[in-house]
Structure 1
């Protein structure tokens, strides 16, 4: 059943790629689809997924998820520099590779995949798990990409809240207060949020269809760092959490999120801060493409 759901995601990506190749949608529409997901459908999806009655056990689990997330990021920060030394990259390339190892694709792939595998409760905990990401990507992530960035871009501001982060905070407050949204509001947000998975996956297909396959096969280091992102990180998370006795959602959510490809915003933020956005684009493409094969492996491992 889980593999069937992953295959559905793959088909949605293929549909997006075919639609783009057939020029059914323009480049402007593609950008607007991405903006619609991040700013509208995903926040609605998060609020409805988190709209449940207060439970002390859920609150305790939320705290554990937050601690696990922070530990995973600390581990990632500690391992990225040795990885760049071993693979002999420096300058802007080093910055981009460190960024893609640290930050996975929560918005466009993480939440939809978690929803298909674990349902609404999984999305709730993923939203909590995502809180450090929302802060670190605009602080440590920006710092990483600015290190060798063009001077003209380094004055840009760091942390800034986004609609998804606001939705998580709002949803968690509603949870703490045990406030249920009125039925018409909940139903409207639920309908809007239900568009997140198909639009997100088709958006990734749009991006893949625009990439130059011939150029992508030339850079072996992109594949090496994609392997760290897609295999090394989730394997380490799985082994450590398993040895500590975690199971169920406390094991599954961190592992699946760690197995996600490079964050879709990598190229955008790299461009904003004068880093190598073309390399970031290739890394997003390759890791996303390879994740179609690697994510089912970890899903099967968790189910076994």
Structure 2
């Protein structure tokens, strides 16, 4: 893998983030417009990108790696949850909830998929989609429990329904069906699906730029937990998972994809749920914004280690 290509891809994304910042400062991308962009990304562009990633010729090694990615993703989430609990013992109150959620739930959609696409192309998106499937399942169960405390029976049923109807989960299921059955779609459909999915990266970075421009980071400059949380999220936990891959003596696109995803910044859901449940919402916005900004550097360095 040409590392200069990776660096160029990451900083291209960074440039688009700056355009998002400019758009917000000039009131071109307002809060209402940004909400609409997020809906387009989550409900349309990202599912199309995921589905499109399954629409190419597979060999047996790729199908084997899909199965491996299932196991590696489960192991990664177990490691992230356990490591985060131990590392965050010094943190108290709601800040601990924010940081733990941020450690476990990474930004697969806005940042992870565009970077995977630039490194491994469609094959990387396939493996990333498997990792993202567990993200969707866990964020609406374990993630909600972290913020809310628990579920009653009725709420649990509603959340399970949300998971099953999530566009990204549906896209993965349809993609797997296409992959297993070997169905060939007409060229016009292939082209349409890929064109819609191709806007994911640009749209994601514009959204992040808009979010970044709204956060008053200077109010948290003296808060040591911010710095501790950033180091934990972007360096320590990804390195633990990387050392796990060394321990099992595995080096493949499937496990590298899981490691790369684990190195992504905090998910935007960290901030969204913090606001919904009124738990340190400004603090959560800072964690999401700063980890996103710094990840453009840490992920680039991390890729040089694992690739």
TM-score over 0.5 (shorter chain): yes
Alignment of 1:108-257 (within 5 A): 108-147=110-149, 157-159=158-160, 160-161=162-163, 162-257=166-261
Q: 1:209 to 1:156 in 2, by over 3 A?
A: farther
Give the unaligned 5+ runs of structure 2.
none
Confirm or deny that 1:50 pairs with 2:54.
yes
Matched, 1:301 2:281: no
CA distance in 1, matches of 2:279, 2:16: 31
CA contact (8 A) 1:44 1:167 kept: yes
The answer for the alignment partner of 1:77 in structure 2 is 81
Q: Match for residue 88 of structure 1?
A: 91
Distance in 2 (alpha carbons) for counterparts of 1:229 and 1:284: 11
2:183 aligns to what SS in structure 1?
coil
Structure 1 unaligned segments of length 5 or more: list them. none
Asked if structure 2 preserves the Cα contact closer than 8 Å seen for 1:223 and 1:287, the reply is: no
CA drift of 1:155 comes to: 9.2
Aligned-partner Cα distance in 2 for 1:134–1:180: 28
Query: Is 1:38 equivalent to 2:42 in the alignment?
Result: yes
C-alpha deviations, 1:120-139, integer Å up to 9, x for none? 10111111122211111111
Aligned partner of residue 130 in structure 1, secondary structure: helix
User: Could you state the TM-score of these two structures normalised by the residue count of structure 1?
Assistant: 0.92
Q: CA RMSD in A?
A: 2.1
User: Aligned-pair distance for 1:272?
Assistant: 2.8
Q: Distance in 2 between matches of 1:54 and 1:250?
A: 14
| CA positional deviation for 1:219 | 2.3
Structure 2 residue corresponding to 1:261, chosen from 265, 283, 299:
265
